[in-house]
Structure 1
Amino acid sequence: MADQEEDFSLLPLSDRVTHKNWKVRKEGWEDTAKAFAATPDESDPVFKPFVLDSGLWKAAVTDSNVAAQQEGLNALCAFLKYGGTQACTRSRPMTVTPIVEKGLPSAKAAAKQSALEALLLYIEVEGRSDALLESLLQGLSNKQPKVVAATLGALTAIYHAYGVKIVEPKPSLKALPKVFSHADKNVRAEASNLAVELYRWLREAMKTLFWDDLKPVQQQDLEKLFEGVKSEPSPKQARLLRSQQEAAAAAPVGGEEEAAEEEAEEEAPVEAFDLAEPVDVLKKVPADFQEKMASAKWKDRKEALDALYEVANTERIQDGHYDDIIQVLAKSMKDANIAVVTTAANCVEVLAKGLRRSFAKYRGRIMAPILERLKEKKQTVADALGQALDAVFASTGLSECLEDILEFLKHKNPQVKAETLKFLIRCLKTTREAPSKPETKSIAEAATKLLTDSNEATRAGGAEVLGTLMKIMGERAMGPYLEGLDDIRKTKIKENCDAAQVKAKDKPKPVAPPPKAAPPAQKRAPTTKKVAPGLKAPVKRASTPQSEKSAVVSPQSKPAANKAVASKLGGLPKPGLTAPSAGLKKKIPGAGPPPSLASPRRNITSPSPLDEAPPPKLGRGLAGRPLGKPAAAPEPAVPSAPAGMTAAEREELESLRADRDRLHRLNEELRSEKAKLTSQIHELQNQNAQLIEDHTRDVLSIKAKETQLVRARSDAEAAESMVQRQGREMERLKRELSRNVREASPLTQEDQIYQDRNPNGVPHHSGMERHDSARSESREVGYQRARGYMGSPSEEKENGSLEVGAGKNPGVGRQLSGDTLAPGRGDDAGGAAGGGQGVDSYKRAAEVTSQLKARIEQMKAKQGLTRPGR
């Protein structure tokens, strides 16, 4: 058995952890965790097999043996801790779901704790939680109650460790109503714990997503649980991400407290706006909104604004084109009815709160009309307008609103001026960004002018503005603007400063490079003083400090100091400044300094060749000044001109500040120009969209007209063809009518005898009845047509079809025509007569025909006389 164990230990780790013996797997996972902990970094080769084959971790989490499963979870935690980001990303898709189903509901507390630690490590190393949270929420749909309860417990621990800033709370809040209605009491208890943990972070803002979906009893139970949490302070992140740990380790020791303060200031509570789903208000606006707003009755206008307020009064509004609505609301600020003005201000407030930053593009069109309407003295109207202004300011910022505010501070109406001052004070107290130097100057100058106003409220407002601004910028920054004020006003401003509560603090960057360079120079001062008379003085003169030489300043050294400063500012040395260095260099090898070196001008005549080397160094700044001063008096302390240097540096600093202010003003102008151009772009985009919509509508209308035209042409062609058919049918019926009328005329006895005989003179007794019936029918039809009894084309067609059928019958046609047809028609009778009788038959037929025509004319005349009487 010992040999087998020794053989197992020689196997690779990837083979041992997949062995069929659970003891071998357990020992393999133990050795794997130790190997991970002993690696120097995440690129060690021991990680490679487990990174490439992520299925090993799925087998570890789902191991059927509880002991092996526990060691596998421990090894997974070590793998995530030491393996880095790649280990997390490659293994997470294979392990999170098995951890939820097998690890978290484990019977052993150690295995359950290791499973939870693995989930926390995934978030810590990756720095994100969206994918893991999605897999966890799928566990809430599991059929086993213990899996659902364990998943809820893991979610509670995750939010407790990392908070809602790192782990998104929306998906969990949306899933709460479902688990609160679960049949298992343990699941409901864990859901209550999760709701309480989320309430610690979100407070009342969390209720916007799920509160209405709960039963009243569940709401009451949760309210009781929330009561114990309301008194607790705001929670903080209990566990840092890997990136946060690295940033904290890299931060300087002295800056940890400042970083913690900045983090505390920047951390703002989660609002309901951040959790709410955006609502498309434009689709819910009544269709007759514009029509009612154009009505002359104030009740119609107020009714339309009330309807708009109802649909816009929501936590979050979806961004869209609200230009028309904003234009109507701006126009309503000039309405004569104060109820309409108040309701319009309420609509502006809810739109600004619901759109937040998306409302900033409408600020320029709505803010000035609201400020102008502040002249209304009724307090309810002023309060509504003030709340609308506060909402507009919250959607933009102080820099965007300051121009309009300062403009209305000059208004001739004292009511407008006083209400604008109140609005400015509220802006200064709520803004999180300190105003810039030019903005501070503008506000201070405007408020200072108001201190001498005739209205007491305006004077008090000006003092409060200056006090609030002092609270933000500090007393030192506000000192220049308070010069010239009497002590009473300064005291009032100081009282307002002490009582003001602001959210912004001005944090100027300290300019400290010159002070940091001074201390090392003071430490080297004694050494340079001792070696100054020696041979090494020319080598070290560049590092000679000014602090040592400024100990004693003689009146004779002031001109030299002034010249030295001038050479520093000019950049090139003057000719007179090269003499002291030359005199000094001649003095160093000698026994003592000559008395002629007291004046720098007299040293110009020195012919020493050393004069040509120092000028480039002397003209570059601080190195040239100490050399000229020892030349005047080497024994006492060499005079210096730190005051002149400070003035020069101050002058240069002032010029840089002036340049900075000029650039800042230019930046502000460009920003305002950009805002105007952006507004114009939005307007042009809206116009373009409207034109495109109109063009599309016109194109569709044209296409519809073209379709109708094509159909009309098709109908016209069909009607034309029908008319042609009817014309041909009428022509044919006319011919039939004339034929029937001709056949319907009575025959003489001779014609009857002639018709009853065939061409050979044989009587036709067999076909006499059929010929008489056909003739009577034809006569009747002929009479009807002659009297005009044809009522409609359809009836004419029916009658015509019957008559034509009778006329086209070959037998009937021959009987109707009989022997009366002319020989030229080519009928059977004519043909037979012409062929059989020859010339005599032809003559006889011609006579009979002429007689028949005469009789027909007589019959027509007789029928014309007798037809009305029939």
Structure 2
Amino acid sequence: MAEQEEDFSSLPLPDRFTHKVWKVRKAAYEDAAKQFEVTPDEHDPAFRPFLNDPGLWKGAAADSNVAAQQDGIAALCAFLKFGGREGCTRTRQHTVTPLAEKGLASTRAATKASALEAILLYVELDTAGPIIEELLPVLSNKQPKVVAATLASLTAIIHNYGCKIVDPKPILKVLPKAFGHADKNVRAEATNLAVEFYRWLREAMKPMFWGDLKPTQQTDMEAAFEKIKAEPAPKQERFLRSQQAAMARAPPPGEDAAEEEDELEAEGVEIDAFDLAEPQDVLSKMAPDFHEQLASSKWKERKEALEALFVLLNVPRIKDGDYGEVARGLAKSMKDANIAVVTQAAQCIEVMAKGMRKPFGKYRSTVTGPIMERMKEKKASVADALGAALDGVFQATSLSENLEEVLEFLKHKNPQVKEGTMKFLIRCLRTTREAPAKPEVASICEAAKKLLAESSAPLREGGAEILGTVMKIMGERAMGPHLEGLDEIRKTKIKEYFETAEVKAKDKPKPPPAAAAPRAAPAAAPKKVLGKKPAPKKAAPAPSPYAQEAPAAPLAPQPTAKSVSKLGGPKPGLKAPLKRTIAGPGGAVPPSLASPRRPVSQAPPPEEEPAPAPPRLGLGRGLAGRSLAAKTPAAARESAMSPPPSSGLSALERAELEELRLDKDRLLRQADDMRQERSRLNSEVQELKNSNAQLIEDHTRDVLSIKAKETQLVRARSDCEAAEAMCGQLRREMERLKRALTSAERINGPSSGMTSPGRDSSDEAGIYRDTGLYGGGAPTSYGSRTRMSFNSALSEEKENGIDPVADKYGRSKLSPDLGMGRNGRTSAASGSAGHISPARDPSYRSDRMRDRDSTLESNRNSGSGVESWKRAAEVTSALKAKIEQMKVNSSTTKFSVQASTY
């Protein structure tokens, strides 16, 4: 046995790792762990065999003996802890799966703890992505305990490193499958993992898996979420090696840095659902006839098209594409006459901006103007929808991109539009995370101060709130110049809004050295010039005390006995601060400026004696000034040794310095002019855009009007053609009637006025006298009968006021063809008022003539007078019945003739 142990110990560690005896393997694991712990660094040769053959750790992690497995996983932890990143990247693909299947599901607590620690070390040494990819397939294992243990390890990874290090999307995708597992332990671990995710993500996690849960599971999850809502935001407990190295290199943070770090952590804990969601292609799902429906003349069809588009756009994330046509259609819908269509279009713009985020910026100018213009609607639901759409657009863009358009609409003539734009600007200032630049602050303040002078109270309140919110961002000191000229009441109101405003952006001024660097740049040129002449005298350090003592000299202007000897020095001392400012903006006095002060004492004093004469110290003329200068030659000598007022600069250098200052002023003026020119050009561009939109709208209106006129013209032409056809038909009908009337007259004309020879005029007169066909007259001869009948007919027609023949056909009533029968007698029916003479009816004339001929013939053939009278009575009654029938027909004929004439 002893020989076997000696043989095993003499074997190298790789061979002992794969030995068939578990005790040998166990001893090898223990020896390896001890060697790893005493290595000086990760490049020690002890790690080399395991880096060359990473498969050794697969057997150690999945050892068949539970005791050996425990030591093997412990050795793996020591290897990872001391071996560094290279040991992690080479071995993780061999060990993570065995650790999950064999180590995490072990019955030994020490083995489970070591396996979990190894997985956490793999994440710590590199990144979490590859480890998550190795663990997710284990969730499909047939053994429920393996699945539950793997879910527990994922929970531990999220708990220690947080969702900033671990990407939650792959885990959230497979989480619904764990909730549907048959084992209750698996479902319990899935619930714990979801709760851990909720600590980090809050409501942003729900769109990923919430819809796949059962209602009872959703209820249970909501109850679990309620318990942790009041907990503070979680923080990362374990850090990656890269993070540890960065923290080791960084200097210890001060109080400000700690506050900033806390703010960043507080803001960065909650992750947006946009970052977790997968982009969805909306364009391919849109209806092919969407734009036709959106341009329909029926508002219901337009609204239905927008509702279908809203369903497609209402997703957490939208895949980028060409949405220009959709954006233009939504912008056009802002001008719709139906407010339901406007509201739906605004909701579509809101979800589209939230789903696209940054790519939506290229469509901002298309939709923002129409939305603001439509804010003139007074209905609350429409105004809320438009405001939400503007907020969505702002989330996808920034304050700087929207500011120009907002400021333009703050000048709108409609108070409703102005108030809506003002509220939108306040919301932008509250939610922006980037402080506006100083020129933008000036523009905002100018617009807000104009609102303070409005007649409407809400606009005045809004102007004060804008100024207070900007003051909260920029600080009270920076806002001081912008509030000049305002009365105390308005300043007090602005101060109230400043104290209650809540903003997310803070203006952080640059540190003084960074701010002073641009000022030192113009002075670099004269500094080099000054260094050329006094170069041999750079070693003179004497002027530094002078530069420090010079400002103190003007503080002793009292002519006391103790200060008499020092009165000569203050005059050049007054120029010392100017000297320090010009020569050394960084605070140090260059030797090139101090070196000329030594030869000043060697210069002839007569040039410096006149210097005390002017009252430089403000002592005024009188005894003090004159006597002190005359009686103290030591003061004169001291003044001769002081530096000249020129601060050591020659005339050429001063001229060059003045030239540089003038150039600087000129550049500043040019920058201001260019800024103003840019603002003017931007305003002109906006005006041109507005005019272009108006022209397009007018052109569209004109085209529609022209099309409507053309449609009306076509309809009028068709109506005219139909009328012409009708007129032609009526004309043809009238001609036909005329021809029928003429033919009837021709047929009946020659027979009128003729009598049969051999007839007895008295018998005929008696018959017609009894029948009353000629108006009741009883002529005795043919001529008298004809004359009486004609006159009676004319008189009756004149009394009744009708002359149908003359009125309708232009014929005279004296025409014998119309007024006489066969024997020249006028019809008795012509006297009936309001009716056309029945003589015009050919059927009537023919019937009458037949009856009369039959009556005369019967009278001639009959020899008895009684029978003749009886027959005459019968004929008369028959004629009366026919006359009544003729009257009815004559009224119908009159109406038809009039219609045909017209």
Give your verdict on TM over 0.5: yes
Q: Which residue of 2 aligns with 1:27?
A: 27
- Give the partner amino acid of 2:285: K
Q: Does 1:580 align with 2:607?
A: no
TM-score by length of 2: 0.62
Counterparts of 1:277 and 1:57 in 2: how far apart (Å)? 37
Could you report, residue by residue, the CA deviation over 1:678-710 in whole angstroms, capped at 9, with x for unpaired residues? xx9xxxxxxxxxxxxxxxxxxxxxxxxxxxxxx
TM-score by length of 1: 0.64
Q: Which residue of 2 aligns with 1:695?
A: none
Q: Which residue of 2 aligns with 1:85?
A: 85
Q: How many residues are matched?
A: 615
- For 1:550, what is the secondary structure of its paired residue? helix
Q: Which residue of 2 aligns with 1:253?
A: 252
- Give the partner amino acid of 1:315: P
Q: 2:435, 2:506 within 8 Å by CA — same for their partners in 1?
A: yes
Structure 1 pair 268–358 and aligned structure 2 pair: CA distance change class (3 A):
farther
Structure 1 pair 279–579 and aligned structure 2 pair: CA distance change class (3 A):
closer
Q: Which moved more, 1:573-582 or 1:61-70?
A: 573-582
Q: Does 1:194 align with 2:193?
A: yes
- Give the partner amino acid of 1:331: K
Q: 1:583, 1:631 within 8 Å by CA — same for their partners in 2?
A: no
- For 2:25, what is the secondary structure of its paired residue? helix
Counterparts of 1:537 and 1:570 in 2: how far apart (Å)? 19
Q: Which residue of 1 aligns with 2:326?
A: 325
Q: Which residue of 2 aligns with 1:449?
A: 450
- Give the partner amino acid of 1:497: F
Counterparts of 1:272 and 1:560 in 2: how far apart (Å)? 65
Stretches of structure 2 lacking an aligned partner (at least 5 in a row): 518-536, 555-568, 613-634, 648-653, 690-902
Counterparts of 2:237 and 2:596 in 1: how far apart (Å)? 71
Following TM superposition, by how much is the alpha carbon of 1:99 offset from its aligned partner in structure 2, in angstroms? 0.7
Q: Which residue of 1 aligns with 2:557?
A: none
- Give the partner amino acid of 1:71: D
Following TM superposition, by how much is the alpha carbon of 1:506 offset from its aligned partner in structure 2, in angstroms? 1.0
Counterparts of 2:577 and 2:276 in 1: how far apart (Å)? 68
Counterparts of 1:248 and 1:511 in 2: how far apart (Å)? 26
Counterparts of 1:363 and 1:317 in 2: how far apart (Å)? 16
Q: 2:608, 2:640 within 8 Å by CA — same for their partners in 1?
A: no
Could you report, residue by residue, the CA deviation over 1:139-195 in whole angstroms, capped at 9, with x for unpaired residues? 111111111111111111111111122112222222222222222222222122112
Q: Which moved more, 1:225-234 or 1:404-413?
A: 225-234
Following TM superposition, by how much is the alpha carbon of 1:426 offset from its aligned partner in structure 2, in angstroms? 0.3
Following TM superposition, by how much is the alpha carbon of 1:132 offset from its aligned partner in structure 2, in angstroms? 1.2
- Give the partner amino acid of 1:183: A
Q: Which residue of 1 aligns with 2:695?
A: none
Structure 1 pair 184–476 and aligned structure 2 pair: CA distance change class (3 A):
same
Q: Which residue of 2 aligns with 1:146?
A: 145
Structure 1 pair 204–655 and aligned structure 2 pair: CA distance change class (3 A):
same
Following TM superposition, by how much is the alpha carbon of 1:252 offset from its aligned partner in structure 2, in angstroms? 1.6
Q: 2:551, 2:573 within 8 Å by CA — same for their partners in 1?
A: no
Q: 1:54, 1:94 within 8 Å by CA — same for their partners in 2?
A: yes
Q: Does 1:125 align with 2:122?
A: no
Q: Does 1:501 align with 2:518?
A: no
Q: Which moved more, 1:135-144 or 1:182-191?
A: 182-191
Counterparts of 2:188 and 2:577 in 1: how far apart (Å)? 84
- Give the partner amino acid of 2:123: I
Counterparts of 1:668 and 1:120 in 2: how far apart (Å)? 60
- Give the partner amino acid of 2:124: E
Counterparts of 1:356 and 1:280 in 2: how far apart (Å)? 15
Q: 2:426, 2:465 within 8 Å by CA — same for their partners in 1?
A: yes
Structure 1 pair 656–132 and aligned structure 2 pair: CA distance change class (3 A):
farther
Following TM superposition, by how much is the alpha carbon of 1:314 offset from its aligned partner in structure 2, in angstroms? 2.3
Structure 1 pair 232–578 and aligned structure 2 pair: CA distance change class (3 A):
closer
Counterparts of 2:12 and 2:76 in 1: how far apart (Å)? 17
Structure 1 pair 129–566 and aligned structure 2 pair: CA distance change class (3 A):
closer
Q: Which residue of 1 aligns with 2:168?
A: 169
Q: 1:564, 1:577 within 8 Å by CA — same for their partners in 2?
A: no
Counterparts of 2:598 and 2:266 in 1: how far apart (Å)? 57
Structure 1 pair 71–547 and aligned structure 2 pair: CA distance change class (3 A):
farther
Question: 1:276-295 counterparts in 2 under 5 A?
Answer: 276-295=277-296
Following TM superposition, by how much is the alpha carbon of 1:71 offset from its aligned partner in structure 2, in angstroms? 1.7
Question: 1:266-305 counterparts in 2 under 5 A?
Answer: 266-305=267-306
Q: 1:597, 1:632 within 8 Å by CA — same for their partners in 2?
A: no
Could you report, residue by residue, the CA deviation over 1:102-148 in whole angstroms, capped at 9, with x for unpaired residues? 1111121111111111111111110x222211211111111111111
Q: Which residue of 1 aligns with 2:435?
A: 434
- Give the partner amino acid of 1:208: P
Query: What value does the CA root-mean-square deviation take over the aligned residues?
Result: 4.1
Q: Which moved more, 1:563-572 or 1:317-326?
A: 563-572
Identity %: 58
Counterparts of 2:582 and 2:430 in 1: how far apart (Å)? 50
Q: Which residue of 2 aligns with 1:55?
A: 55
Q: Which moved more, 1:16-25 or 1:658-667?
A: 658-667
Could you report, residue by residue, the CA deviation over 1:32-60 in whole angstroms, capped at 9, with x for unpaired residues? 22322222322222221111110111111
Question: 1:9-28 counterparts in 2 under 5 A?
Answer: 9-28=9-28
Counterparts of 1:451 and 1:169 in 2: how far apart (Å)? 50
Counterparts of 1:202 and 1:315 in 2: how far apart (Å)? 15
Question: 1:811-850 counterparts in 2 under 5 A?
Answer: none
Counterparts of 2:358 and 2:585 in 1: how far apart (Å)? 51
- Give the partner amino acid of 1:101: E
Following TM superposition, by how much is the alpha carbon of 1:397 offset from its aligned partner in structure 2, in angstroms? 0.7
Counterparts of 1:224 and 1:658 in 2: how far apart (Å)? 66
Q: Which moved more, 1:553-562 or 1:106-115?
A: 553-562
Q: Does 1:568 align with 2:583?
A: yes
Q: 1:51, 1:90 within 8 Å by CA — same for their partners in 2?
A: yes
Following TM superposition, by how much is the alpha carbon of 1:561 offset from its aligned partner in structure 2, in angstroms? 3.5
Counterparts of 1:339 and 1:575 in 2: how far apart (Å)? 79
- For 1:552, what is the secondary structure of its paired residue? helix
Counterparts of 1:131 and 1:658 in 2: how far apart (Å)? 56
Could you report, residue by residue, the CA deviation over 1:43-91 in whole angstroms, capped at 9, with x for unpaired residues? 2222211111101111111112222222221221122122222111100
Q: 1:576, 1:601 within 8 Å by CA — same for their partners in 2?
A: no
Following TM superposition, by how much is the alpha carbon of 1:348 offset from its aligned partner in structure 2, in angstroms? 1.0
- Give the partner amino acid of 1:58: K
Following TM superposition, by how much is the alpha carbon of 1:453 offset from its aligned partner in structure 2, in angstroms? 2.1
Structure 1 pair 347–428 and aligned structure 2 pair: CA distance change class (3 A):
same
Structure 1 pair 352–339 and aligned structure 2 pair: CA distance change class (3 A):
same
Structure 1 pair 97–291 and aligned structure 2 pair: CA distance change class (3 A):
same
Q: 1:551, 1:637 within 8 Å by CA — same for their partners in 2?
A: no
Could you report, residue by residue, the CA deviation over 1:260-286 in whole angstroms, capped at 9, with x for unpaired residues? 235325415122322233332223322
Q: Which residue of 2 aligns with 1:857?
A: none
Counterparts of 2:206 and 2:356 in 1: how far apart (Å)? 20
Q: Does 1:425 align with 2:442?
A: no
- For 1:582, what is the secondary structure of its paired residue? coil
Q: Which residue of 2 aligns with 1:369?
A: 370
Counterparts of 1:563 and 1:181 in 2: how far apart (Å)? 82
Structure 1 pair 485–251 and aligned structure 2 pair: CA distance change class (3 A):
same
Counterparts of 1:562 and 1:171 in 2: how far apart (Å)? 67
Q: 2:70, 2:110 within 8 Å by CA — same for their partners in 1?
A: yes
Counterparts of 1:399 and 1:327 in 2: how far apart (Å)? 23
Structure 1 pair 17–508 and aligned structure 2 pair: CA distance change class (3 A):
same
Structure 1 pair 363–97 and aligned structure 2 pair: CA distance change class (3 A):
same
Q: 2:538, 2:592 within 8 Å by CA — same for their partners in 1?
A: no
Q: Which residue of 1 aligns with 2:238?
A: 239
Q: 1:567, 1:574 within 8 Å by CA — same for their partners in 2?
A: no
Counterparts of 1:102 and 1:653 in 2: how far apart (Å)? 81
Counterparts of 1:547 and 1:640 in 2: how far apart (Å)? 17
Could you report, residue by residue, the CA deviation over 1:773-823 in whole angstroms, capped at 9, with x for unpaired residues? xxxxxxxxxxxxxxxxxxxxxxxxxxxxxxxxxxxxxxxxxxxxxxxxxxx
Structure 1 pair 660–161 and aligned structure 2 pair: CA distance change class (3 A):
farther
Q: Which residue of 1 aligns with 2:474?
A: 473
Structure 1 pair 662–636 and aligned structure 2 pair: CA distance change class (3 A):
closer
Structure 1 pair 78–634 and aligned structure 2 pair: CA distance change class (3 A):
farther
Structure 1 pair 415–570 and aligned structure 2 pair: CA distance change class (3 A):
closer
Could you report, residue by residue, the CA deviation over 1:326-356 in whole angstroms, capped at 9, with x for unpaired residues? 1111111112222221121111112111212
Counterparts of 1:394 and 1:576 in 2: how far apart (Å)? 56
Q: 1:375, 1:416 within 8 Å by CA — same for their partners in 2?
A: yes
Could you report, residue by residue, the CA deviation over 1:615-641 in whole angstroms, capped at 9, with x for unpaired residues? xxxxxxxxxxxxxx9994599999999
Structure with bigger gyration radius: 2
Q: 1:428, 1:468 within 8 Å by CA — same for their partners in 2?
A: yes
